[in-house]
Structure 1
Amino acid sequence: MTDWALLRQVVLATGDIEGAGALVREKFRLGKGFADPELDTVGLADDTMALAGGSYLELVAPSSDAPMGAALSRWLAKTGGGGYALSVQHSDAEAARDRAVALGVRLAADQRVMGHPIVQFHPADAGLLLELDGIADPEKWFWDGMGVDPSPDALIDDILRVDAGVADPASATALWTEILGFGPVEKHTFDLGGRLVYLVPKADRPQWTITLRRSPLGGGLTDGDLLGVELRYV
């Protein structure tokens, strides 16, 4: 069994990274984000915004026809955008990778970033693009010290829950349980450091529902859709 696993980033895909970033910042009063320079080499533009609770909202868009950019372009053509990937900080990402490979799961990525192992599992096998980030200290994250600081005026301060649509929740739950090294999981629900991921039957729109925690300034937020996902607030 794994020592721990934390949901760190929820990734939304869009065809317009600048427009989507401006929309999210305006709606939630978030500060400037961080663009991972390594993603451009695989055809992706990104914009990662920090929340005070330690989680991050990330936007990705195609930037070229390099492999991951081309794959995202095809996905956007089919779906129009929305919930795309989950990044989970894991105590032993390499062991999780080995368990996945033994189960026949294909890897979308297997590399080191800033000295840490990063593994992505193919969405056709895992139900969605699941990334595990092997940063050994649960108090540390990639963007610490990069200037991606939470805005003191933000209307939200953490991600509490993601209802993510997958084709077969029961099969995906069994697979994730094995890969992550979890004990028995009930109701297709994974507790990832107090942030919950529910694997639910895939619907046409929206495929994901994200529950966000209001900051003390966020009392005026009302539930609704944004960038192809349904947003709820508590």
Structure 2
Amino acid sequence: MTDWALLRQVVLATDDIEGAGTLIREKFRLGKGFADPELATVGLADDTMALAGGSYLELVAPSSGAPMGAALSRWLTKTGGGGYALSVQHSDAVGARDRAVALGVRLAADQLVMGHPIVQFHPADAGLLLELDGIADPEKWFWDGLGVDPSPDALIHDVVSVEAGVADPAATTSLWTEILGFGPVERHTFDLGGREVRLVPKAENPRWTITLKRSTAGAELSEGALLGAEFRYV
């Protein structure tokens, strides 16, 4: 069993990174984001915004015809955008990778980033694009010290849960359980450091439902669709 796993970033895909960034900042009063320079080399533009509770909202868009940019373009043509990927900080990303490969799961990425192992599992095998980030200290993250600080005026504090549609929740739950090194999981729901990921039938719930914790200033937030996902608040 794994020592711990922590949901860090919820990733939404769009074909308009600037427009989506403006929209989500205005909606939640979020501050300056960060563009990961590693992603430009694979054809992606991104905008990552910090929340005070330690999680992040990330936007990605195609920026070129490089492999990942081309794949995202095809996905956007098919879906129109929305929930795309989850980044999970994991105590043993290499071990999880090896278990996945042994199960026949294809890797979309397997590399070192800032000295840490990063693994992405192909969404056709893992149900969605699942990334594991092997940063050994759960109190640290990639963007620490890079000026991607939460806005003190933000209306949201943290990610509470993500409900993501997959073709077969039971089979995907079984696969994730083995890859992540978890014990038994109930109701297809993974507790990732106090943030939940719930797998539901994609045919019944094509949009992700993202639940966020309000800040003290966020009492008037209204629930509804945003950037191809459903947003709720607690």
- TM bucket, shorter chain: over 0.9
Instruction: State the Cα distance separating 1:205 from its structure 2 match.
Output: 6.4
Paired residue secondary structure (2:76): helix
Equivalent AA in structure 1 for residue 194 of structure 2: G
Identity %: 85
Q: Tell me the distance in 2 between the aligned counterparts of 1:28 and 1:147.
A: 19
Deviations 1:153-179 (A, max 9, x none): 000010000000000000000000000
Q: Which residue of 2 aligns with 1:211?
A: 211
Q: Which residue of 2 aligns with 1:54?
A: 54
Instruction: State the Cα distance separating 1:204 from its structure 2 match.
Output: 7.1
Q: Tell me the distance in 1 between the aligned counterparts of 2:60 and 2:99.
A: 28
RMSD: 0.8
Paired residue secondary structure (2:77): helix
Q: When the two structures are superposed, what TM-score results if normalisation uses the length of structure 1?
A: 0.99
CA contact (8 A) 1:206 1:228 kept: no
Q: When the two structures are superposed, what TM-score results if normalisation uses the length of structure 2?
A: 0.99
Paired residue secondary structure (2:231): strand
Instruction: State the Cα distance separating 1:80 from its structure 2 match.
Output: 0.1
Q: Tell me the distance in 1 between the aligned counterparts of 2:203 and 2:80.
A: 14
Q: Tell me the distance in 1 between the aligned counterparts of 2:206 and 2:20.
A: 17
CA contact (8 A) 2:165 2:205 kept: no
* Structure 2 alignment gaps of length 5 or more: none
Q: Which residue of 2 aligns with 1:161?
A: 161
1:31 aligns with 2:67: no
Deviations 1:88-143 (A, max 9, x none): 00000000000000000000000000000000000000000000000000000000
Q: Which residue of 2 aligns with 1:177?
A: 177
Paired residue secondary structure (1:58): strand
Q: Which residue of 1 aligns with 2:8?
A: 8
CA contact (8 A) 1:205 1:228 kept: no
CA contact (8 A) 1:108 1:119 kept: yes
Instruction: State the Cα distance separating 1:27 from its structure 2 match.
Output: 0.4
1:194 aligns with 2:163: no
* Structure 1 alignment gaps of length 5 or more: none
Instruction: State the Cα distance separating 1:181 from its structure 2 match.
Output: 0.1
Q: Tell me the distance in 2 between the aligned counterparts of 1:203 and 1:132.
A: 26
Instruction: State the Cα distance separating 1:207 from its structure 2 match.
Output: 1.9
